[in-house]
Each structure stands twice: as C-alpha cells, then as structure tokens.
Chains A and B, each alone.
Chain A
Amino acid sequence: MRRRIRKDHERFKRIVKGKIREDLKELIGGGYLQGQRGSEKVKVPIKDIDIPQFRYDPHSAGGIASGSPGEEGEEEVGTPIGADEGDLGSEIRPGSGPGTHYPEVEIDIEELAQIIGEELQLPRIEPKGEETEIKEGQSYRDVSITGPETLLRKKKAFRKGLIRSILLQAGKEEDALPFELPTPKAVIKDGVVPIKEDKEYLYPNREERSKAQAVIFFMRDVSGSMTGEKTDIIRQENHLIDIWLQANYDDVKRVYLIHDYNAAEVTEEQFYQLSTGGGTRISSVYKLCLEKINRKYRPDEWNIYPFHFSDGENWAQDSLERCLPLLVDDLLPKVNVFCYGQVSPDRDMPRGHLRALNKVLAEDEKMATSIISDRAGILSSIKDFLGTGR
C-alpha cells in the first residue's frame, strides 16, 4: 500500500473506532454488534460517519429497478421488494456515485476487543499453560528487500525497472505532467536492468503458534421466567464475553448448558431459543459443568470460564447445600474465574441465589458476580466479570 492511501485509511479507521467508542453503550444495548461464528469480523452500524448531503427522503422518493429478464411475471404490481433502502436504487442515482451511504462498517474482532478492553479498562488476561512454538510456514505472503534469487519476484522487478527507466528518461521537465513519456517499447529495446530498489523477494511467513486455549461454559436458566428481554441481555453479554476471550486466546471452545430442574448440553442456537415451564435447580447445571470439565478439560491445559445467568430464584436449600459445596470444593479450584449474573430487569437487589453466593464467596477472587437490571448494565457487568484479568 502506498503511503498516501495508508494514511487516509488509518485516519478512517481511527474515526470508526472513535465512533464505536462513543456509541459503545448504545451499540451493545441495542444489540447492534453482529458477529458471525467463525468470522474474524464484526459488523457495526456507524451513525453519521458519512458526510451528510441534502438528499431526498428515500421513502418519499421511491425508485426504479429492473426485473430479472427470464423471470418475467414474477414481479407483479403490489409485490413487496424489500425494506432496506441500501438495496435498491441507490446505485443508480447519478449523483450518488461512490461514498453515498455506508451504514455498516466491518472491524476485526481483535480491534473491537481492544476498544471494549480500553473502554472498560479490562486487564489483558495472562493465560496459563501457554507454550509458544514458532514454525516456518509454507506460505509466502510477505515480501522482503533481501533474499535468495530463487525467491525474487522477477516480473515485478522488471516492471518497476521499466517504469523507473521510462521516468528517468522523461524526467527532464518536471512541471508539466503529462510529459512526453518514451514508449515502453523503446525502453525495452535499450534493455531494462532492475537495480536493488526494484527487487522484492518472497518471504516465508513465520507462524507463531501459541497453545493458549480456553473453554467457555455458557450456562443459563431456561425455566418459565427467563424469556424475552432477559434472553436478549444474555445474548449480548455472551457475545461480548466471547469477543474478549477470543481476543485473548488463540483457541476458544464453547459449551452451552441449559437447566431448569435438570441440566443438558445444547447447541448455541437452542441455548437462546429453548424455554421450559419447569422449576429451577441450579446445582444441576453446576454438576453437569463439573462433569464436562473432569471429562474433557484438564485445568493444567485449559483456561476455564464458566458463566451462569439466571433471574436469581432458586431453592435456598439447593443454593446453600449443593451449589456452594460444588463451587468451593470442585469448580473454583479448576476455573480461571466463575461468573454468575443475576438478570433481573425489575430489580437491582441480590436475590436468593446471589445472596447465598455472597454469604460465602464475596471475597473469593475466583468468583465474580453481577446484577444486570437493564441493557445499559451489560457493559459494567462485563467489567465485573472480566475486570480481574484472570
């Protein structure tokens, strides 16, 4: 990339990041950060980053489009053709050209995590069990100014040499561009000899492979009262947790556990969809979590992060007599941090389960708890959970 465009590009990215920082609460509360599983990018709608112009209200202006040829008849008068103004017509208006409207910007998860980290002043996690090995990869994606002749980019060197020769011969009168350039043909006839500056060599990528790996246990209560708004809050919160841990570890595995009176492992999709009418017994999911850890995730190899969300209701007996012993004796020694979130839009005081936890574990550095009473509380809750840097 040339210097000029790199500077403009960096400037643009800085502005985008500034905007995200500014709107972070709103973006998170509104559920606007959309990432796709497996993708390294997150789509973020950015308000007002475009340069505003006097323009028509698209709803008032309507538009014109062409139907697909061959499929004539499918498009009848009255057929709905979409709700998003960006899809239609905007390309064809002569005044629009490039740069009319960009409601969404994609940024790297890593970059978003950095912003979130800085805004919340989250300490970077120091993973345990990390081993780094460097191995020379097979791909040659970088270039270097020195290297063996076999890796010289010959065509590129020739081209650069040619351009240099042309410019050298033409550069007498600097002011008047376009000046008379000798034809490439004439230059080639005289011979083009690439000099050092023209030469680039392929350079093997060094892959740093770090073995720091983490497993996240997402757990939630799916009994009757845990629906709607509460689900949305949990989804957003989990997404952010996921982004942050992904940025801190090279390899992240996810396990989704739900419970009412009993617990079960589910897919991510089911995790947010399922809802049952049954009662609540939190110890069931803590027990399942422990079983999973014991079976698959050895604490000396894995960084283990259980997150549990419920509305705080549980049998007092279950919380005190089953959950606490499970946590104190088995789970806490194995995990990096165990996080419990009470999602209770109607109140911000601790309920039964959280009160029980606080009674014994309030001072335990491996236990983090938080009350999320509305969407605006998501950010501070992330801070409660991950602010320890564990």
Chain B
Amino acid sequence: MDLRELEGQRRRARELVEKEGLDPYPVEFAIVDKEELDELAAYEGFPERYPHWRFGMEYDHQKKRSSYGGMRLYELVLNSSPALAYLREDNTAVQNKAVMVHVYAHADFFAHNKWYKGTGKSGIKMMRDHAERIESYMESEGVEAVESFVDKVLSLKMTIDQYGPFLQRRTERGDEGGEGNEEGNKIPVKRDYMDRFVNPPEKAEQGGKDLKGRQGSKTGEEVQLPTSDLLGFLGREGKLEEWQREILAALREESYYFAPQMMTKVMNEGWAAYWQSKIMSERGFAKDSEFLDHADMQSRVLGSGGLNPYMLGKRIWEDVKERWDKGRHGREWENCRDREKRKNWDREEERGREKIFEVRSNLNDVSFLDRFFTREVFQEMNLFTYEWVQGSGQYHITSKDFEPVKRKLLFQFTNMGRPTIKVQTGNFENRGELLLVHEFNGVNLHLGDARRVLKNVYSLWGKPVNLKTVREKSGRITQIGFKERDPFRRRSAPEKQREGLLLRCAGSEIEEKKLDLAQVEELIFDSVDYDTVPDSWRS
C-alpha cells in the first residue's frame, strides 16, 4: 500500500465530504492486517480493553466469520475525537476510498447527533483507563474473582437509562454548582462529562406525594424510583466492596458510551452508506475503472440478508432527501390519495439537504423510523413479519402489510430491542429485598435467562431479589395457509390469557409464584399490539 497515495486519497475524501456539508471529527486511519482487524473487532475496535474471556469468544467467532464465513469486515471506526479507523492492508484503492468516505460520514454523525453528546471525545482513553484499572484489581483481588464479578455486571449492561444522560443534561444544567460538597457519596467517575448523569444532582422535590416511590439510601441520599438504571442503583445501594463498586462504575460508563450507537444503528449506518454511495458514484470519487469494484463492494454490504440496517437506513435517507426536495410533506401530501398526482408531485422546494442534516442531528432510530418509514419506503423493501406458531414448531410469515411491519419494526428498536425492567424499590415488603418490575408490552420475557440474571443481581444486591412480570399464553393457532380456505370465515381471536408472576431469588434457588392480574395491572402497557398473527388463524 502506497502511503503517499493513501494520504492523498484521505485528504480528497475529507474535502469531498466537507463540500457536502459534513463536519466530521478528525479521523486517524491505522493500517492493519486481517488478523489484527479480527482482534480489533473482538475488542469492539479499541486497541485496549480489560482482560475478559468474552473478547476471546468474539475473536473466535470473528475469525471464523472472516475466514470462511465470507464476511469481510470493511470498516471499523471508534467514536472519539480524533476518531480512529482501520484500513486493511490488502484493501484495493477503491476499497480504501470507499471506507474513508464511509468512516468520515460516521465521524460526522458521532460529532453532531445529539444522542452522542454525553459520550465525550475520549472513548479510547476511557477504555484504556478501565483496562488498567481492572487489570490492577486482578492483581490485587485475583483474576477469578474479578472476572466472575465482571460477568455479573455485564449481565446487566443493558439495564441502564439510555435516555437519562440526555434528559438530565437538558433539564438540570442550572444545578451543577451544588454538587461539589457531596464528593464522598458519589459513584467514582473519572471524567466529569459522565459525572453529571452518573451522579445526577437531585431534582427539586415535587411535593411529598410521591414518597412511595422514594426511599432513603444507605448513603443518606435520596434515589428517584422507579428507575431503569438498575446498574446505577446497584452501584449506589448494592452490597459491594470498594473495588467492585469501582469496576461496576467503569463498566456502566462503557454501557452509556455504547448506548447511543445502539440507539442510532439504522440512522448511522444508513447515513454512512448514503454518503458513500453518493460520493463514490455521483461525485466520481470512484474512477470509471473502479466503478464495478465499488458496486460489488456495496452490494455485499447492502445486500446481506435479514433486515439490513445499512440498506434500510440508506433507503430512508434517500427518501427524506427526495421528499423535502420536492415538497412531499405536510398535510396536503399526507392526505393526497391520487396515485398519479403523488408520483409527479414536485414543488421544487429543494430543502432535502437541509432536512437530512437536521434529522441527523436530532433523531434516534425509534423517532427516525416512526417518522420516516413510510408506505413508499416499505413498498420498495419487501419486508414481512413472522411469528412463532406453537403447533407447527416453526416461525411463519404473518404479514406483508405496511402497518404490521411498521409496528414490528418499531418494537424491535424500542428500548434498544430489550424488555423494560425497572427498580421499583430496594425495600420490598419491608425486608430490604430488591423488587424489579418488567413493564409488559404484550411480549413475554425470556424466563430462563431472566432467572440467570436474577442470580447475578442477587450477588450484587446481597439480599433476596424479586421480579414481577406478566406472562401471556397465546391462543392456540389452528389454521395456517388459510388462503385456500374460505377467507370470509373469520374466527374471533381467543381472549388473551395472562397471569402475573413473581420470581424470587434468594441464592441458588428461585421461587416462582403466580399473581392475580390485579396485582400486576400497573405493569401492563399494551396499547400497541405487536402480535401480527392474523385473527383468522386462531380458534
């Protein structure tokens, strides 16, 4: 690889993206071989992570994927300023150019999407600090003890309040001055940008009426309950030794660091794919002789199966651009049912560019898909929903219609695709037990895994841990492939059978107790029906 040529390409790539209005962090590109890239991928791109077997597992899988899975990893970029990205030494020139543009678009997204504001600019340094800290605890406390503790914390890495940082930063900026004197009670945090949401200053009392939801903590501080930040709650209130508290705080900080990337996967990947395609093809960054190679590379990325975030995101960005260029929005557009008229609709607004930059700054995947996954986008993508059918022991296609597909899509991105679990109280039934609740949206919790997680929570909490959930038994489905039969013979769906469950973990055993629906009523949030099984299938 000719480094001078490469540097020329890099400078050109930066010029081209800036000309389009992108404003990326500076990016450092490192040249690595295939093996190094596999390693880095295992560490989620970071040169240094704390020692842990799961990185070894990732490495094992990554190596297999890249060696005989035919999955070539093209691009890996870290959210940091400067950002760090990697180029494989055996990349062709056109691959390098495409990766650079793609990476610059990500670096623009990191720098400007508002959900990333809390992540700061020094992710690489943070990971290195954590690696050093955890390594030093391994020396003093023993590798086994530390690794097994890390396993337990990682079991809860997604139970954070991913909206918290953003909301608190906005509402409580004025209170910052008051936090200096509480140093002793805080979760230790090394960077002050994190501090604000890891240890949010107390909200003003909203009168005494929600006392039920609050409790005095061991440190004398008040914790606002319920909270989705189980990890933070355990960090404060759990029965932990000092080194454990430190490690928990570090891993929680990493969770908050990664959360925005999980909340904007479709947007971010789509944004990068969109600009890559635009600049390589339309702006001619790929030479004529390279055109085919680039098309091939792109089709590999965009064409891989399942629901591909690159493809989905790119389609939506293109659609938004076109709609605001042609004025296809607002009430008149929404209400227009004339197909011909819609097809030719062009008010020559030319606001597409402005719009996409505004959207990239303000939305996350849920709001992005909610607003811009339109019937038109849907029609181009051949998407379908599927559900499990007990009787056949298989998943079956249940719908190819817009509304169910969109509902399912939003379900998969809401709360990062995870069930919502909250801490209700740390003094359940006045016994100092922890009570977690699962906010039931019509989709069951995986109870097997929940049991395993509870055991981990138990060891962090130090006393029995309870989880309230709701379980729905689906009605028996008898007809599949109903098409041949009389489509008008509709049968009503059976009453949904639901029951409440209370799991209680007091060590290695887990008790399970059925609850009346009345006891879990306040946990049911099922205004949207995510079940896409056609009514006609049920008996």
Contacts and interface: CB of A to CB of B under 8 A. Distances in A.
Given A80-B392, A80-B396, A98-B61, A8 B84 contact: no
A62 B419 contact: no
A177 B122 CA distance: 9
Given A53-B449, A80-B395, A183 B52 contact: no
Contact of A64 (B385, B416, B447, B483): B385
Given A5-B39, A51-B151, A95-B262, A66 B394 contact: no
Given A52-B449, A188-B4, A64 B386 contact: yes
A178 to B, nearest CB: 5
Contacts of A99: 54, 57-58
Contacts of A51: 54, 151, 154-155
Contact of A81 (B390, B397, B411): B397
B456 interface: yes
B483 A76 contact: yes
A238 B483 CA distance: 48
B394 A83 contact: yes
A383 B311 CA distance: 55
Nearest to A188: B3
Contact of B388 (A49, A62, A185): A62
Interface in B414-455: 416-419, 421, 438, 443-447, 449-450, 452-453
Contacts of A102: 57, 61
Interface string A89-118: 101111111110010011000000000000
Nearest to B406: A64
A152 B382 CA distance: 53
Nearest to B55: A8
Interface SS of A by simple majority: loop
Contacts of B398: 62, 77
A64 B413 contact: no
Contacts of A253: none
Interface string A273-302: 000000000000000000000000000000
Given A56-B445, A184-B7, A62 B387 contact: yes
Interface residues of A, number: 67
Contact of B483 (A55, A78, A88, A105): A78
Contacts of B54: 8, 12, 51, 99
Contact of B384 (A56, A65, A177, A183): A65
Contact of B395 (A2, A76, A81, A97): A81
A137 interface: no
Contact of A2 (B39, B64, B156, B394): B39
Contact of B412 (A59, A63, A69, A75): A63
A185 B125 contact: no
Contacts of A7: 51, 56
B53 interface: yes
B57 A94 contact: no
A159 interface: yes
A62 B385 contact: yes
A333 B431 CA distance: 75
A64 B412 contact: yes
A94 B412 contact: yes
A82 B395 contact: yes
Contact of A54 (B41, B55, B266, B419): B419
Interface stretch (B110-118, B163-171, B301-309): B301-309
Contacts of A98: 41, 44, 58, 61-62
A145 B156 CA distance: 45
B16 interface: no
Given A92-B412, A178-B82, A78 B384 contact: no
A60 interface: yes
Contacts of A76: 397, 481, 483
A383 to B, nearest CB: 31
Contacts of B400: 75, 77
B81 to A, nearest CB: 9
A82 B309 CA distance: 22
A52 B155 contact: yes
Contacts of A2: 36, 39
B99 interface: no
B239 to A, nearest CB: 21
Q: Which of B381, B385, B397, B421 has the most CB of A within 10 A?
A: B397
B35 interface: yes
Interface in A23-67: 48-49, 51-67
B98 interface: no
Contacts of A8: 42, 51-56, 59
Given A9-B56, A61-B443, A66 B151 contact: no
Interface in B152-183: 154-159
A195 interface: no
B51 A4 contact: yes
A8 B57 CA distance: 8
A83 B386 CA distance: 11
Contact of B382 (A62, A66, A95, A105): A66
A15 interface: yes
Given A54-B158, A60-B443, A61-B443, A78 B396 contact: yes
A88 B387 CA distance: 11
A97 B262 contact: yes
B446 A57 contact: yes
A190 interface: no
Contacts of A5: 39, 42-43, 55-56, 59
Given A67-B384, A78-B397, A94-B365, A13 B56 contact: yes
Nearest to B404: A64
B177 to A, nearest CB: 29
A138 interface: no
Contacts of B124: 177-178
Given A91-B306, A94-B365, A98-B61, A11 B56 contact: yes
Given A72-B382, A102-B61, A183 B446 contact: no
Contacts of A58: 388, 446
Interface in A152-204: 159, 162, 177-178, 181, 183-185, 188
A1 interface: yes
B532 A62 contact: yes
B383 interface: yes
B386 to A, nearest CB: 6
A205 B39 CA distance: 25
B221 interface: no
Contacts of B538: none
Nearest to B266: A94
A13 B62 CA distance: 15
Contact of A63 (B147, B156, B262, B408): B408
A81 B449 contact: no
A133 interface: no
Contact of B60 (A12, A52, A55, A159): A12
Contacts of B306: 65-66, 88-89, 91-92
B395 A83 contact: yes
For the complex of A and B, 4 pairs with smallest distance between CB atoms: A12-B56, A8-B56, A93-B417, A52-B452
Given A11-B147, A67-B382, 7 more contacts: A11-B52, A12-B56, A53-B418, A60-B443, A65-B305, A67-B384, A94-B365
Interface of B: 3-4, 6-7, 28, 31, 35-36, 39, 41-44, 48-49, 51-62, 64, 82, 84, 89, 124-125, 128, 147, 151, 154-159, 262-263, 265-266, 305-309, 311, 365, 381-390, 392-400, 405, 408-409, 411-413, 416-419, 421, 438, 443-447, 449-450, 452-453, 456, 472, 474, 480-483, 530-532, 534
Interface of A: 1-2, 4-5, 7-15, 48-49, 51-69, 72, 75-83, 88-89, 91-99, 102, 105-106, 159, 162, 177-178, 181, 183-185, 188
8 contacts: A15-B53, A48-B452, A53-B158, A56-B443, A58-B388, A60-B443, A82-B395, A97-B262
